[in-house]
Amino acid sequence: MFENLQDKLQGVFDQLNRRGRLSEADVDKALREVRLALLEADVNFKVVKSLVGRVRERAVGVEVSKTITPGQQVIKIVHEELLATLGDAAPLNMGGGSPRVVMLVGLQGSGKTTTAAKLALHLRKSKHTPLLVAADTRRPAAIEQLKVLGRQLDIPVYTEDASVPPPKICANAVKAAKSGANSVVILDTAGRLQIDEELMDELSQIKANTHPQEILLVADAMTGQEAVRVAQGFHDRVDLTGLILTKIDGDARGGAAISIREVTGVPIKFLGTGEKVSELEVFHPDRLASRILGMGDVLTLIERAEEMLDEEVAERGAKKLLEGNFNLEDFLEQLHQVKRMGPLGKVMDMIPGMGEITKSISQEDMENSLKRTQAIISSMTTYERRNPKVLNGSRRRRIAKGSGTTVQDVNQLIAQFRQMQKMMKRLKNPRFQKNLMSMFGGGGFKGF
Amino acid sequence: MFNFGFGSKKIKESLTRTRNSVFGQITTLFGGNEITEELWDDLEALLIQADVGVETTLELLETVRGRVSSEGITKPLDAQRVLKEEMLKLLEGYAPSVIDKQRILTVVLVVGVNGSGKTTTIAKLSKFYRQQGKSVVLAAADTFRAAAIDQLKIWGERAGASVIAHQPNADPGAVVFDAIKSGLARKADIVIIDTAGRLHTKFNLMRELEKLRGIARKQVHAAPHETLLVLDATTGQNAVSQAKHFKDTVEITGVVLTKLDGTAKGGVVFAIGKTLGVPVRFVGVGEGIDDLMPFDAQAFVDGLFDE
C-alpha cells in the first residue's frame, strides 16, 4: 500500500533539473509527498503541518550537492527534523531517595500491565529491587494478571482488595516498600480515557499520595490521529515525564510517537517490542525515524528472518548445497522458508534501495512464479524429487497436469535446477572453495 | 427491538462527544452560503484527523466534488448530503450477520491484536445474546496472557454464560474442541471463542488461528459461522493492515469497533470498508457489560452530522 517515500521523491525530482539550488516550487512539490507519507504513518495532521513548515524553511535555497540527488537532499532534511522531534533516548530518572516511584498511565489496552512487568525486570537487571503495585481495581482479573507476572519473574507484587481505592493502595504500597527495602515502586494503574474526569482525578490523587519520579504514558504504536488528544489530556492532568511506545513489533509505522513528542515534549524512554517480559528496548531515534518515513528497515528484516526461519532447515539446505546433493525436495523446503518471511514485496521493501528494483518487476509476477515452482515440485513423487534424472516426457506431462502448469514450465524449472546443480558441483571443487574463501576473507568483494 | 438500558444513554453521549470534536466541525463547515475551495480543504483536513486515511479521504472528496459539479449543486447543505451518501456507501450494503440464523450450534470466533478489547467484547456479546434468551458457552482459548482465563470466567459469571477453560498455557485448540463439544452436548445456541491477542504480522500465531478454525469446522458444519475482528477505535491506518492480514488468514466476516466512548472516532472503518469490504457488526461504547450495540451504518453517519 505504501510506496517508499524515497522512490516517490525520486519521481518528483526526476523531472527537474538536477543542478543549482532547490527552488520553492521544487520543494513544495516534494513536500506534498512528505506530507502524505507522514499522514499515512499516522503522524497527527497539525503536527505534520508544523513539521513540513520547518522542513520547507530549511530546504528552500539549499545548494544541491553533486553527490546526492535533490530527493535525497529533502529526505535528509526531513529525517533530521524527525530526529530532532523524536529527541534522544532518555534513561529512567532514578535519582532521589528510596523508594523511587514510577507511575504508568494510559488508555485501556495500551499495555500497561505487561510494561510494568517488563520495567520491573529491566530495573532488577540494573541492581534495583522493584515492587510491583496492582492499582488497577477495575478490570476483572487485572490484579491476578500482575500477580502471575510477578510470580513468573520472582518479583514481589503489592495487592489489596479490589474494593480499596487505588490512591490508598498506592500510598500503602510506598510505605510497604520503605519497610521492605524495595528501591523502586512501579504503579500499574487502570486504563482510562483522558476525558473521564472521575478517573483522571484518581490519577491526580495517586500522584499526590506517592510523588512519583517518573510518570510514564504507555501508548500503543498503532494509535492514530487521536494520540495528540490522549497525550495532551494526560499531560495536562499529571505532567508526564516520559513515554513508552508499545507493540512496535507489528507493522505500524509509529507516527504517534512524533505526535506525542511534539505536544508534550517529554522524552521517549522505551519501546515494547514483543509479548515476552524481556522484550523492552531502549529507544533508538534513528530507527524509528526511518520507519515512520517508510524507508528501508534492515534491522526489522533481520529480526523477522531470525523469527521466521528455521535455523536447522536453513543449515541443512546449506550443507546439502555444499555437498552437492541438493535435490528438488530440499529446494521445496527452502522455498517454504522464503515464503514464511511474508509477501515477497514486503520483504523487498525493507531492503534500502530495493524499491527501484522491485518496481520494474511486478510483485505479483514474483509471487506467482514462486507459487508455480512450488506447485510443480509438489506434483512430483518423492522418488522424482530425489532423482530428477528420471523425469521423462510422460512424467513431465503428468506433473504439468497435476500442478496446473504447462510442460514448458516444468522443463524450465528442471533446466534451472540442472544449472544450479552444475554450479554446486563447481562449488564442491576444493580449488574453487579455496578461491571463494580468499575472496571473502582477505581480498574483500573484488571478485563481484 | 433490543433493550440497551444504560447502554443507549452512553451511545448518545459518545456521539455527542463526536460531534463536538472532529466530525461536529463538518456541520459547521457546511453552514455557509457557498461552496468554496477552502471548504474542501478544511473537509480534507477534518476527515484525515478522524483517521479516515489520506487515500480514502482523497477518493471520497473526488467523488463528492464530481457529483457536486455534475449535479449542479451550489448549496453547501446539498454538498453535505452528497458527502453523507458517499460515506454511507462505504459502510453499508453488506449481508446481515449470520449469528442469528437457525442452526444446530453457532460458533463465533473472536480475534484481534493485543489490547483491542476482545475479552470485554465477548462479555458484552454474551450478555447481548443471553438477553435474547440464548444459551452461551465461552471458550477460554487465550491461554497465553496471564490471568486472561480468570478475566473471562468473571465476565462469564456476570453475563450468565458458562466458560470452558483449561490450564494456563494449555493448547488453545483443545479448549476450542472441548467448548464446542460441550456446546453440542448441552444443546447451547452459541459458542464464542476468546483467542489470545496477536499482532497480525506474527506468522506462527496467525497459523494457530487457522488451526482453531479447522478444529471448529470439523465439529460443526461451516463453523466458525462468524469471525469477528475486534478493533480499537483509537487505531490509525494500521487497522487496514490488521484487517487485511486477519482477513487473509481467518476470513474475518465482520469488525467490532471498540472504545468508541472516547474522542476517537474510528474513521479507519471507512478505509476498511472501501479496500476490504468487511462490514462493522457491533460497536463498544463503554466498560460496562451492556455497552455494546449492533452497528447501524445510517445511524453512525447520521450521528456524526446531525445537530
Looking at residue A297, what is its pLDDT?
53
Please tell me the predicted confidence (pLDDT) of residue A447. 28
Interface check B234 vs A, CB under 8 A: yes
10-residue stretch averages of pLDDT, chain A, 448 residues long: 57 62 80 88 93 90 69 81 90 89 97 97 94 95 95 96 96 94 96 94 97 97 94 96 93 90 94 90 84 65 60 71 74 74 58 49 68 88 88 92 90 83 67 50 31
CA distance A295 to chain B (A): 17
Using a CB–CB cutoff of 8 Å, tell me whether A119 touches chain B: no
Helix (H) or strand (E) segment spanning residue B84: helix B76-91
Strand order in the sheet with A214-220: A157-158, A130-135, A184-189, A100-105, A214-220, A242-246, A268-272, A280-282
**Predicted pLDDT of residue A301:** 58
Phi-psi region of A358 (alpha: psi -120 to 50; beta: other; left: phi over 0): alpha
Is residue A249 less than 8 Å (CB to CB) from chain B? Answer: yes
Element of type H or E holding B193: strand B190-195
* Candidates A45, A111, A255; nearest CB to B49: A45
Q: What is the DSSP string of A198-235?
A: HHHHHHHHHHHHH--SEEEEEEETTB-TTHHHHHHHHH
Short-list B303, B233, B226, CA closest to B268: B233
CA–chain centroid gap for A143, Å, is: 30
Best of A226, A244, A248 to substitute, by most chain B Cβ atoms within 10 angstroms, is: A226
Which residues are bridge partners to B163 per DSSP? B138
* Model pLDDT, residue A331: 79
- State the cell numbers at B165: 477453560
DSSP bridge pairs for B111? B229
- For residue A415, the model assigns a pLDDT of 85
Average pLDDT for residues B275-292, to the nearest whole number?
93
Question: What was the pLDDT predicted at B291?
Answer: 94
Q: Which helix (H) or strand (E) holds A195?
A: none
**pLDDT (0 to 100) of residue B102:** 86
**Which cell numbers in the block locate residue A42?**
499516522
Q: How far is B72 from chain A (nearest CA, A)?
A: 30
Q: For residue B236, which residues of chain A lie inside 8 Å, CB to CB? A: 42, 222-227, 252, 255-256
The order of strands in the sheet holding B136-141 is B162-164, B136-141, B190-195, B106-111, B226-232, B254-258, B280-284, B292-294
User: Taking CB atoms and an 8 Å cutoff, what residues of chain A touch B145?
Assistant: 145
Q: Does the distance separating the beta carbons of B45 and A340 come in below 8 Å?
A: no
Helix H segments across B92-202?
Answer: 118-131, 148-159, 172-185
Average pLDDT over all residues of chain B: 88
Select from A164, A242, A172 the least CA-distant residue to A209.
A172
| Chain-chain contact of A224 with B236 (C-beta, under 8 angstroms) | yes
- The number of C-beta contacts closer than 8 angstroms across A and B is 144
Residue of B nearest to A252 (CA): B238
Q: Is the dihedral of CA A118, A124, A128, A132 positive or negative?
A: positive
Helices (H), B160-219: 172-185, 203-219
**Whether A107 and B203 lie within 8 Å, measured CB to CB:** no
Give B 34-93 residues with CB within 8 A of chain A: 45, 48-51, 53-55
| pLDDT tens sequence across B23-48 | 556 667 777 888 899 889 888 988 89
Contact across the interface for A148 and B50, Cβ inside 8 Å: no
Reduced to 3 states (helix: H, G, I; strand: E, B; else coil), residue A161 is coil
Does B146 contact A1 at a Cβ distance shorter than 8 Å?
no
Minimal Cβ distance to B54: which of A36, A226, A249: A36
Q: Which residues of A touch B146 (CB under 8 A)?
A: 144-146, 148-149, 152
CA A135/CA A49 separation, integer angstroms: 39
With the C-alpha atoms ordered B282, B79, B240, A216, is the resulting torsion angle positive or negative? negative
> Does A342 lie at the interface with B, CB-CB under 8 angstroms?
yes
* Least Cα separation, residue B190 to chain A (angstroms): 23
Share of chain B above pLDDT 90, in %: 70
The predicted model scores a pTM of 0.78
Show the DSSP H helices in A21-165 as ranges: 24-40, 45-59, 70-86, 112-125, 142-153
The verdict on a CB contact (< 8 Å) between B287 and A138 is: yes
- What is the structure's pLDDT at A441? 36
- Facing residue for B268 by CB, picked from A147, A224, A308: A224
SS3 state at A372: helix
Mutate to test the interface with A, among B16, B17, B206, B234 (most CBs of A within 10 A): B234
**Which positions in chain B touch A339 (Cβ < 8 Å)?**
none
Within 8 A of A340 by CB-CB distance, chain B residues are 203
- Does any CB of chain A come closer than 8 Å to the CB of residue B20? no
Residues of B whose CB is below 8 A from A153: none
Residue B117 has pLDDT above 80, yes or no: yes
* Nearest chain A residue to B168, by CA: A148
All domains in chain A, ordered by first residue = 3-86 (1.20.120.140), 100-293 (3.40.50.300), 305-438 (1.10.260.30)
Q: Cβ contacts (< 8 Å) between B150 and chain A: which residues?
A: 140-141, 144-145
Distance CA A79, CA A61 (A): 18
Distance CA B258, CA A190 (A): 17
CB contact at 8 A, B305 and B27: yes
Matching residue, cell 460443526: B220
Instruction: Check CB contact of B288 with chain A, cutoff 8 Å.
Output: no
pLDDT tens profile B221-245:
999 999 999 999 999 999 999 999 9
* CB distance B278 to B272 below 8 Å: yes
Q: What is the ipTM of this complex?
A: 0.88
CB proximity under 8 Å: A 203-222 to B: 220, 222
Residues A1, B240: C-beta atoms closer than 8 Å: yes
Report d(CA B54, CA A27) in Å as an integer: 21
Confidence at residue A335, expressed as pLDDT on a 0 to 100 scale: 74
Q: Is B115 on the interface with A (CB under 8 A)?
A: yes
Position A182 scores a pLDDT of 94
